[in-house]
Amino acid sequence: MKFLTVAATLATSAFALTNHVKENVRSNFGEDKLIALSKGEITDVIHQILHDHGVDSVGHQDGKMHFKLSPNALEALDSEGVLYHDHTEEFISNMERNLNSENFVCSEGAEACASQQLDEFYSSYQDLAALEARFEGFAASNPSITSLDSLGKTFEGRDQTLLWIGDDGSKPIVFYFCGIHAREWITPMFCTYMAEALLDTSNEASQELLKNYTFAITPSANPDGYVHTHEVDNAWRKTRQPNEGSRCIGTDPNRNYATGFGGPGASANPCSDTYHGEFPFDQMCTNNIKTFTDNFASRIIHVNDVHAYGEYWMSPFAGTTNLPVDVAAHDQCNKAVYDAIKANSGLEFKIGPVATTIYEASGGAVDYFYEENAIIHSYTYEARGGGRTGLAGFQPPTSNIMPSNIEMYEGLYAAMKCIWDLEVEGNDPVPVPCEDSKSNCNSFSCFQEPNSCKETCGLCSEVAEENVPETPTQTVVTEQADLGPLVGAVVFLGIGVAAVGAIMAVMVHKMGKQQNQDAVANEGKLNHFELN
Ligand code: 0X9
Ligand code: ZN
């Protein structure tokens, strides 16, 4: 693969920058502490304290939430006598150990880093210049099926690079963007790998995907923040746009969307890592994403806002524990992803709606795409990290990069098969009947808690009656996750539905969904968000 020569201005000495970051990990953490609380330990009082102080949840692992707390927030917890596990030292020393490990970040300059062979490229983290150079290489080497684009400019004037793959103007679009949270370094590596895997003509699964879908991929959706993590503070999460009247910089881009803006899980404090911004989409990088999804809403069949860490694949809603009308479809694809990843790496990604699987996070991307753009298959990955990889899960040891890429690509492939089956073939999911036979319990809840489904899922009465299939003979989708992509590709090949037909099907389904949601909202069965 030939790579374009990168402008000398891009070839900044990553070595010097990386060393600068290495020296600053501890001081950038300041007086903050990292604590772990299990979900069951988070009482209403604790929840309120975390909310009042705009506490930043940094990730999640093994049933525990990891929170970064300011001294004031800690004092509030202490005054309530809350017991917590202090992981600050472990977190910082893991980050330092990783940053000091050999070749943690490729430091040979953008051009040299970008032109490495696949194994070598993914054996280190890559800075923005190297990622961009690699994307330029993808475009240069595959001119007939790619085009390099941008979602728009960021506050600091950078492009949110976007690569189109296989766009013929009609196929349904699959939009993945990574790195919206700057420090989640393992995610741009995935978006880059994803593009590379799709362009690999020897990868049959990829070839099948490209027959049916157009891909749009943004490796670094928050490039200003990403550069900041490489140059100054590698734990930086937010954008770099200043806040008027505050000394604190940046907004959490995943709290800056209009849907549920300012609700639970978002902070009004500009110094918080979950600061929602002054008004929806006041961040250039989120506004650019919104413009893109608004423009292509009728063609986007699946969007994924890729995060780290904790090993999750999640569906709407994030801002409310209410369930969306498409819960059965989400459950079906969630489970397909779970199965595929487990078959590949053995990791058991947790699945389900964001709000009930991790925590409420309003004003986020997933809900906006689902609610406003009517993209049914709006999901979010949280890549592997934390736990066994050391608490520094945003940037786990580099030996995780390729396994993470591969398992997430397997998950993506399984999702695309599931989505095709539901949206193009029209095989609506069949909810599992509850024991009372009057209502339904979705498979996800039964699957997660097989022995206590009816008591704990809370869905039996919630699943809207319109999800009950009219004919009991409706097709149930057979799981194929254990077949693996190559064998699965043969099945997928058999679908053979024309691209134009597919996009029509997406549009018709979306119209139906919108009408359905309107009807449900009117009947007051679901509490949809107050839209700002
Ligand atoms: O808090 C968040 O924004 C996400 N977790 S993270 O550790 N990556 O910050 C969870 C919110 C869920 N929504 C999306 N992941 N889009
Ligand atoms: Zn994130």
Q: Which two tokens stand for residue 394?
A: 């945003």
> If DSSP states are collapsed to H, E and C, what string results for 138-151?
HHHHCCCCEEEEEE
Alpha-carbon gap, residue 466 to 454, rounded angstroms? 20
Alpha-carbon gap, residue 266 to 269, rounded angstroms? 9
57 lines ligand 1 (CB under 6 A): yes
Mutate to test the pocket of ligand 1, among 254, 303, 354 (most ligand atoms within 8 A of CB): 254
Q: What is the pLDDT of residues 64-73, one digit of tens each?
A: 788 888 898 8
Q: Which two tokens stand for residue 304?
A: 């994924």
> How far is Cα of residue 10 from the mean position of the Cα atoms in its chain?
28
Predicted local confidence at residue 204, as pLDDT: 95
Alpha-carbon gap, residue 338 to 412, rounded angstroms? 10
Give catalytic status of residue 382 as yes or no.
Answer: yes
Alpha-carbon gap, residue 113 to 439, rounded angstroms? 56
pLDDT of 466 above 50 = no
pLDDT of 257 above 90 = yes
DSSP class of residue 10 equals G
Looking at residues 224-237, what average pLDDT do you find?
93
69 lines ligand 1 (CB under 6 A): no
Binned at pLDDT 50, 70 and 90, residue 477 comes out as: very low
Distance 254 CA to ligand 1 centre (A): 7
Quickly count: other Cβ atoms within 10 Å of residue 236's Cβ: 24
Across 187-281, where does the E strand assignment appear?
214-218
Residue 462, CA distances (Å) to 164, 378, 379 in order? 39, 21, 21
Q: What is the pLDDT of residues 77-130, one digit of tens each?
A: 999 888 888 888 888 888 888 888 889 999 999 999 999 999 999 999 999 999
Predicted local confidence at residue 531, as pLDDT: 20
Alpha-carbon gap, residue 307 to 324, rounded angstroms? 22
Distance 305 CA to ligand 1 centre (A): 9
Q: What number does the ligand 1 atom closest to the CA of 237 have?
A: 9
Binned at pLDDT 50, 70 and 90, residue 502 comes out as: low
DSSP class of residue 217 equals E
Binned at pLDDT 50, 70 and 90, residue 416 comes out as: very high
Comparison of pLDDT for 8 and 388, the residue scoring more: 388
Predicted local confidence at residue 435, as pLDDT: 53
Binned at pLDDT 50, 70 and 90, residue 10 comes out as: very low
Q: Which two tokens stand for residue 464?
A: 């809207």
**H/E element holding 201?**
none
184, 360, 371, 382: the active-site residue: 382
Q: Which two tokens stand for residue 300?
A: 């986007």
Q: What number does the ligand 1 atom closest to the CA of 307 have?
A: 8
Predicted local confidence at residue 439, as pLDDT: 52
Predicted local confidence at residue 389, as pLDDT: 61
Mutate to test the pocket of ligand 1, among 187, 257, 273, 307 (most ligand atoms within 8 A of CB): 307
3-state SS, residue 498: coil
318 lines ligand 1 (CB under 6 A): yes
195 lines ligand 1 (CB under 6 A): no
Predicted local confidence at residue 40, as pLDDT: 78
Predicted local confidence at residue 99, as pLDDT: 85
Backbone angles phi, psi at 168, to 5 degrees: -110, 15
Distance 342 CA to ligand 2 centre (A): 22
Looking at residues 194-223, what average pLDDT do you find?
97
Q: What number does the ligand 1 atom closest to the CA of 252 have?
A: 3
Over pLDDT 90: what percentage of the chain?
55
Q: What is the pLDDT of residues 299-330, one digit of tens each?
A: 999 999 999 998 999 999 999 999 999 999 99
Alpha-carbon gap, residue 59 to 82, rounded angstroms? 20
Q: What number does the ligand 1 atom closest to the CA of 254 have?
A: 3
Looking at residues 9-13, what average pLDDT do you find?
39
Nearest ligand to the CA atom of 253? 1
Beta carbons of 126 and 257 less than 8 angstroms apart: no
Mutate to test the pocket of ligand 1, among 57, 239, 261 (most ligand atoms within 8 A of CB): 57
Beta bridge partners of 164: 147, 216
307 lines ligand 1 (CB under 6 A): yes
Beta carbons of 200 and 530 less than 8 angstroms apart: no
In this structure, the strands spanning 64-69 and 33-38 are: antiparallel
- Please work out, in degrees rounded to the nearest 5, the angle formed at the alpha carbon of residue 511 by the alpha carbons of 510 and 516: 95
Residue 311: CA atoms inside 13 Å, Cβ hemisphere, count? 24
Backbone angles phi, psi at 138, to 5 degrees: -55, -45
302 lines ligand 1 (CB under 6 A): no
Beta bridge partners of 149: 162
In single-letter form, the type of residue at position 508 comes to V
In single-letter form, the type of residue at position 514 comes to Q
pLDDT of 493 above 80 = no
Distance 308 CA to ligand 2 centre (A): 5
Distance 58 CA to ligand 2 centre (A): 8
